[in-house]
Amino acid sequence: MVNYGGDEVSALVVDMGSSSVRAGYAGDDTPKAIVSSYYGYRPTAGDSDVQMGDTAGESNPEAPKPRSDAKLYLGQHGPSIWRAGMEIGHPFRDGLMSDFNPIPALISHALVDSANRERMAEIMFEEFQVPAFYIANTGVLNAFAAGKGSALVVDVGHSMASITPVVDGFVLRKGLVYSALPKLVHAHAKHILANPTPVRRGIELYPHQLIATKISRGLLVSLRYTRIGSPEPRIAGGHGMKTAEVDEWIQSVASVLDQGWNEQAAASRPPRQYEFPTGYNMYFGAERFQVGEQFFHHSPQLVAQNPNLPKNIPALLSESLRACDPDLRQVLMGNVVLTGGGSLFAGFADRLETELSRNIPHVKIHAPGNPMERRYGGWLGGSILASLGTFHQLWISREEWQEYGKAIVGQRCK
Amino acid sequence: MALSASDIRSALSLPQSTPAPAHHRKTHPSTTKKPDGISRELYSLIGPSAPSLAAHLAKPRLRQKPNLGGGGTVKWEHRPFGNSARSDTLQLFHWVKLSDPIGDYPFAKYNVQPQSYTYSQDEYSRLLEDSEWTKEETDYLFSIVQEYDLRWYVIHDRYNFPDGPIRAIEDLKDRYYSVCRKLIRNRPCAGDESSRSQLLNSYQFDKEREKMRKNYVASLEDRTPEEIAEEEALFVELKRLEQNERKFRKERDDLLRTLLGADSGLPDIVVEEDGPAALSIEGIRKKKKGGPDFDLPPTPSNIIQLGPPVSKRPPPPKSAVYDAQHCIVRVDPPAGSSNTTKVTHVPAHLRSFKLPVPKATIAPKVAQALAELGITYSRLVMPTRDNCSQLESLLDATTALIETKKIVDRVEQDIRVLKARLGIRESESADRDPKESTPMDVDESKQDRDGEGEGRAQSVIRGRKQLCRSISVSSIDTSASLPTRTGTKRQKRG
């Protein structure tokens, strides 16, 4: 046991992302539960008090019972099932576990500011009565998942791209940079799909749930489909059903060229077919490469149009490196860890390598080939950390929480 | 095999001649002896006669399972444990073997705190006053250093003293280490002076040097691709120059050896290709030995520094006496060579290793000549100094003998050739008459056409004459070319 330093205390590891919450026991290699971070709710006029529902209760939402109060739809089948009048919300909030004793919880969090972390600790100790608690940075955990103590973690998530320099398991806060780049890519993809082009008209992005019948007649033929439910589901916080459709399209069709934008190269790649829920069927050629280009290069006119455009990956990288010590830069560039579900974008790792090696001589990118490891790297690192014997002295115990209060969070979780 | 009559009878289904009980009595013991792993039917067919076959047919036994952990099941227990590395009484649960003793948490020993220095107000005011640092900021620095276990990059990242100036990582390190040094120097030390200076050395920090180094590192990163390419080209050029330098040195040594012969003192060993690293080390060693030597023109390379010749340094008299006492003979370093390179160095050796050897070109001849005299020179039974010198003189004499023999042979050959040429001259003068009457040939051909029978006999005679003439011509040719050829040979030998 001591040989590999592991000592499992069945700690609970929760990794919260903007698209999904991952939870499981420390020592496992994959999370036990992957739950959508979105939740559905039906607003009611009077009562805004929200009843927490657990996953088990919501696992059969196929026949939603009529409810008088506002009802949360959580979990795997919560927000992804269409219900009349349901809105989709997105809090950072967990209502999944009720009995934590005697399970300590490790929460992985991208947030650095202490107020949020203290609030999280408060929720865990006061509401869920956990015996011990620790909060770790996602970037650090990603580095641990890659087996590195010092690394430059390039994390491309669902809505945020971040670059975190990690040294000896500590985040260098001055070098930590964020941008909402994936959102921009998403918006770009949506723009491409929704706007008509010379060869096709704009595509209607209705989810499967809204399509009652459809007759697909092959490519570019006028479609016939009927929708159920007259009003479009309202979209809260910029997320909704259309988002899922665009995401689906990005995941299956969109790609990025590995050697930089080049019209000929894009045209020479084979086009890829995609059928939308409406039955609209289309081959996507060069368009699908334009989408990924947003990660690495912004066209000058786009920059001119919106001044506060999220920074692209090379800009983020150089900004992060500039904030680091010159001695560290070489070390960090030799340990680039690519992680996050967004980095599974086709061709992303190759392109990143090309971009980096263009400017920096010795670059080594660690990008796990296993998609599970890439998507749940933060959780995996937490699982590794919380199962280490030497880690157990770092927990904030309930006793300490009661003695020192909120200050202990900042002191312990450096 | 005991094949009884009854067996044969039963096999051939003949009526039993003997009573049945006898048969029973016979088969009964065989069935009891049936080995394991073979069916009863098969055994009754092959009988006890094929034990080897039965052994083969025995039930295959699986490899024995490894017996891990002294038998029986291991009981595990979900046991609460405390951690002595913690200041509180947090109880966590883990699974341990029931047999494991309840002791201290095994991972608690990894909680190692680095040694840290603290100072009192008095010490601060006496020793540690600094115009750039306030006491509060120094306190803060020491607390944060302690908190982050001397991880300077992290310390610099988190360093945030309110209303303090922006500090570079070198400033922080410099302040911390200088305070530590002062404290070590002015406190009574438990150990002796050497351990204190060792401790001081471990807290050494040169701020200016670190800053300069960091600037260099930063400037390395700011290079454009063109500059990097240029740098690489320059590096390749440097390598090439170094190689040229080595080649030049080798050629110069060769030239010296050719010009001065044995006097040059350069050994006949081919100079091995030294790596640049070896050369530079050598250069450093030579630099330590002394200034440059003026006997030889200095080489353009700064790597090759010519040290003073060792031979010019007379051996100390004490050592001479000592040598004589202990029969130590020092080999004079090659005279005239002031170039103390690795190849010219003569290490201590066994005398028998340096036995004189005839030149490779004439070695077989020497061996042959000595064999004729009944001497084997390749092995000295007792290679004393006298014997060695005698062997050397013997070899020298033999070599001289062989050289002389060669010259004699050559002279004899020349004489023979010249004699032959003389003979040809004489024969030529005899042939001169028919040679001059070449038009006769035409006449003869005419005669050929005239008379066939007689012409044949004549043609035979004429053929002989022509043959003879052709020989003489060829001999003249060779005699003309021969002296020149021997001449070239001589040149080569000389």
Q: Where are the domains of chain B?
A: 76-110, 121-220, 228-305, 354-432+444-494
**Is the predicted pLDDT of residue A139 greater than 70, yes or no?**
yes
Separation of alpha carbons A271 and A289, rounded Å: 10
CB atoms within 10 A of CB B310: 15
Contacts of A392 in chain B (CB under 8 A): 83, 86, 92, 105, 107
Contacts of B107 in chain A (CB under 8 A): 2, 5, 7, 389-390, 392-393
Contacts of A227 (CB under 8 A, 6+ apart): A206, A210, A211, A212
Q: How confident is the model at residue B416 (pLDDT cuts 50, 70, 90)?
A: very high
Shortest Cα–Cα distance, B145 to chain A (Å): 13
In CATH terms, the superfamily for domain B121-220 is Homeodomain-like (1.10.10.60)
Measured CA to CA in angstroms, residue A308 lies from A323, B250, B451 at distances of 21, 68, 125
Of the two residues B190 and A85, the one the predictor is more confident about is B190
Contacts of A318 in chain B (CB under 8 A): none
Name the β-bridge partners of A214: A225
- Contact call for A131 and B92, based on CB within 8 A: yes
- Contact call for B153 and A328, based on CB within 8 A: yes
Contacts of B157 in chain A (CB under 8 A): 167, 170, 172-175
Would you say the C-alpha torsion A138, A144, A146, A149 has a positive or negative sign?
Answer: positive
The whole-model pTM stands at 0.60
Q: Pick from A397, A403, A414 the residue to mutate for testing the B interface (most B CBs within 10 Å).
A: A397
Contacts of A331 (CB under 8 A, 6+ apart): A150
Q: Is B74 helix (H, G, I), strand (E, B) or coil?
A: coil
Q: Which residue of B has its CA nearest to A167?
A: B154
Of the two residues B468 and B130, the one the predictor is more confident about is B130
Contacts of B170 (CB under 8 A, 6+ apart): B207, B210, B211, B214
Of the two residues A289 and B317, the one the predictor is more confident about is A289
**For range B305-330, the mean pLDDT:** 58
pLDDT digits (tens, 9 = 90+) for A193-214: 888 877 777 777 777 766 666 6
Contacts of B228 in chain A (CB under 8 A): 361
What proportion of chain B, given as a percentage, has pLDDT over 70? 60
Residue A338 is predicted with a pLDDT of 93
Q: How confident is the model at residue B236 (pLDDT cuts 50, 70, 90)?
A: very high
pLDDT digits (tens, 9 = 90+) for A281-318: 778 888 888 888 888 888 888 788 877 788 888 889 98
What does the angle CA B230 – CA B232 – CA B235 come to, to the nearest 5 degrees? 110
Which residue is it, tokens 């003439």? B469
Q: Least CB-CB distance to A389: which of B90, B106, B228?
A: B106
Q: Which residue of A has its CA nearest to B149?
A: A168
Question: What are B286's two structure tokens?
Answer: 């030579």
Q: How confident is the model at residue B247 (pLDDT cuts 50, 70, 90)?
A: very high
**Is the predicted pLDDT of residue A238 greater than 60, yes or no?**
no
Q: Least CB-CB distance to A392: which of B83, B148, B228?
A: B83
- Render A63-86 in DSSP notation, one character per residue: SPPP-SS-EEE-STTSTTS--TT-
pLDDT digits (tens, 9 = 90+) for A43-54: 554 433 333 333
- Contact call for A172 and B169, based on CB within 8 A: no
Q: Least CB-CB distance to B93: which of A9, A389, A395?
A: A9
Q: Pick from B154, B156, B169, B220 the residue to mutate for testing the A interface (most A CBs within 10 Å).
A: B154
Contacts of A242 (CB under 8 A, 6+ apart): A190, A205, A206, A207, A235
**For range A386-411, the mean pLDDT:** 86
Query: Looking at A159-210, which runs of residues are DSSP E strands?
Result: 161-167, 170-171, 177-179
- Contact call for A174 and B95, based on CB within 8 A: no
Q: Least CB-CB distance to B92: which of A104, A174, A361?
A: A104
Residue A127 is predicted with a pLDDT of 80
